[in-house]
Structure 1
Amino acid sequence: HTTAETIVTFQRSAQPGGIFVLVIPVVQPRPIMKLLDLRPDRALLKVDFAGYKLSLEPVPVLRTDLPESSRPDRVRPGADQYSCLDAQLFGLQNHLVRDPWVVGSCYFLDGGWTVRRVVYDEASGRLKPVSSVFKVGRKRERREGDYNCSMRFLSERYALIGDGQGGLRLVETGDRRRGDEWKGRFVFPAVDGMEEGFVVLDGRFEVAGGGERHVHAVCGSVRRTDEDGFETVLHWVKAIQEEGGSGEWKYHSVRVLRGRGFPVYCALELKSRGLVLASDKPFKFVLDSENPIEEKEVVPELKKPEAEGEREPVEVNFEWSQTLEDISVKVPKEEGFSYKVTNENMKLKVHRNEALIIDGESFFAAIDAELTSWTNESSELQITLFKSQPGVMWPFLFPGCPEETNANRAEGEDLPPVSNITSQLEECDFGIVGSGEETEYTLERFDATSHAVTHKTSLGGNGPLFSLPLRPEFPPAIALRHDVDACLWLQQPGEEWSLRHEGTLHAFGYVQASKQQRKFLSCAPDLSYAL
Structure 2
Amino acid sequence: MTQTIDLKVNRHLIDSKFETYYLTTQEVDIKSVPLNDPVDELTLEDKQLYSYLHFSAFSRDFNYLFTDPFDDDPICYYIDSIFKIWRIEIDQLKDQITSPVCLFEVTDGGQAKSNDSLTTLLFPSKDIALILFSQCSTEGLGEGILKLLVVSTEDRQSQPATWKVVNSFNLSDETSFGSCWHNDQKTAKKFPCPAKLITANYRSENDYDILEVVILTVNKNNDEKFECVLNLLQLNKLKSEESKESSVWSIQRLHQLTGQSYPSYIEIDHEDKNTHLTIVSEKHFKTSFDSREDEPVNPETKDSNVESDQDKGNMYVFYQNDSEITVDFKLPLDIEANQIKVNFGIDEMEIYIRGERVFKEKLWQEIDRGECTWTLDKSSKDYTKDNVSNLQITLIKKQDDQIWCQLIKGEEQGFQLMTSERSAAFQDLSILASGLSGFDRLKSVSSYIPSLTGNEQCDEVSEDLVLFRYNCHTKNLTHQAFLAGHQWLFSRKFDADHLPCFALRHDIDALIWEPKAKSKFHVEHIATFSALGYVQASKESKKFLNCSPDFDYAFIADSNNHIYIYKQPALCEGVVNRKAGVRPKIAKQKVINLGCEFVKVLGAIAFKGYLVVLSSKKIFSIKVNF
TM interval, shorter chain, is: 0.7 to 0.9
- 1:512-531 to structure 2, matched below 5 A, reads 512-531=536-555
1:266 matches 2:266? yes
CA drift of 1:473 comes to 3.1
Match of 1:445 in 2: 469
1:201 matches 2:198? yes
Structure 1 CA distance for aligned equivalents of residues 518 and 230 of structure 2: 26
Deviates further, 56-65 or 143-152: 143-152
Higher relative contact order (CA 8 A, sep 6+): 2
Match of 2:34 in 1: 65
- 1:19-418 to structure 2, matched below 5 A, reads 32-67=1-36, 70-78=37-45, 79-91=47-59, 92-102=61-71, 103-142=73-112, 146-165=116-135, 166-179=146-159, 180-190=161-171, 191=174, 192=188, 193-194=190-191, 196-210=193-207, 212-243=208-239, 246=244, 247-270=247-270, 273-292=275-294, 294-295=297-298, 297-298=302-303, 322-324=320-322, 326-327=324-325, 334-343=337-346, 347-352=347-352, 353-357=355-359, 359-360=361-362, 366-367=364-365, 369=366, 372-375=368-371, 383-386=395-398, 390=401, 392=403, 399-400=413-414
Structure 2 CA distance for aligned equivalents of residues 467 and 325 of structure 1: 31
Q: Which residue type is aligned with residue 223 of structure 1?
A: N
Structure 2 CA distance for aligned equivalents of residues 313 and 498 of structure 1: 28
- 1:494-513 to structure 2, matched below 5 A, reads 494-513=518-537
What's the CA shift string for 1:176-210, capped at 9, x where partnerless? 22341212222234244236441101111112235
- Secondary structure of the 1:48 match is coil
CA drift of 1:330 comes to 10
CA drift of 1:260 comes to 1.6
* Cα distance, 1:496–1:350 mapped onto 2, change above 3 Å: same
Structure 2 CA distance for aligned equivalents of residues 493 and 240 of structure 1: 24
Q: Which residue type is aligned with residue 334 of structure 1?
A: A
- Secondary structure of the 1:335 match is helix
Higher strand share goes to which structure? 2
Q: Give the conservation status (yes or no) of the 8 Å contact 1:115–1:132.
A: yes
Q: Give the conservation status (yes or no) of the 8 Å contact 1:107–1:116.
A: yes
* Cα distance, 1:338–1:77 mapped onto 2, change above 3 Å: closer
Q: Unpaired runs of 5+ in structure 1?
A: 1-31, 303-310, 407-437
Across the two proteins, how many residue pairs are aligned to each other?
446
CA drift of 1:477 comes to 1.4
What's the CA shift string for 1:284-331, capped at 9, x where partnerless? 1111113445445548899xxxxxxxx999968x9x763335546799
Q: Which residue type is aligned with residue 108 of structure 2?
A: R
Q: Unpaired runs of 5+ in structure 2?
A: 136-145, 175-187, 330-334, 377-392, 421-461, 556-626
Match of 1:464 in 2: 488
TM-score normalised to structure 1 length: 0.74
- Secondary structure of the 1:88 match is helix
Cα root mean square deviation, aligned? 3.5
- Secondary structure of the 1:164 match is strand
CA drift of 1:140 comes to 3.4
Structure 1 CA distance for aligned equivalents of residues 289 and 370 of structure 2: 49
Match of 2:507 in 1: 483
TM-score normalised to structure 2 length: 0.64
- Secondary structure of the 2:535 match is helix
Q: Which residue type is aligned with residue 223 of structure 2?
A: E
* Cα distance, 1:324–1:339 mapped onto 2, change above 3 Å: closer
Structure 2 CA distance for aligned equivalents of residues 98 and 404 of structure 1: 41
Q: Give the conservation status (yes or no) of the 8 Å contact 1:327–1:387.
A: no
Deviates further, 293-302 or 161-170: 293-302
CA drift of 1:376 comes to 7.4
Deviates further, 168-177 or 134-143: 134-143
Deviates further, 350-359 or 511-520: 350-359
